[in-house]
Amino acid sequence: MPGLEKLAVKQSWQWLYCTELAIFLRGDKFFVSDWLQTGHFWSLAMEEQFYLIWPLCVLGMRRESLMKLCGICMAASLG
């Protein structure tokens, strides 16, 4: 199919859940072909990275530090 070759060489970014990094580094048209756009997968990449990093933060921090971090995250999300 036309346009798939462009996306096929860039699929490693998506398999590694680094779509948002590729968009940041290469531009928002990086995952666009003639008829297929896959740039919207950045949100899945962010979610997957959260599920990988957050448990490590919870396990590696003391309770007080974790509560401060949670407060900062809540305040930042409101902003």
Residue spans per domain, the chain = 4-78
Residue in 45, 40, 38, 43 with CA at minimum distance from that of residue 3? 38
- The angle formed by the CA atoms of residues 75, 44 and 32, to the nearest 5 degrees, is 120
The pLDDT mean for the chain works out to: 84
Q: So what's the pLDDT on residue 67? A: 95
Give me the residues of the chain with pLDDT under 70, please. 1-3, 33-35, 39
Residue 78 half-sphere exposure toward CB, CA atoms < 13 A = 5
Enter the pTM of the model.
Answer: 0.61
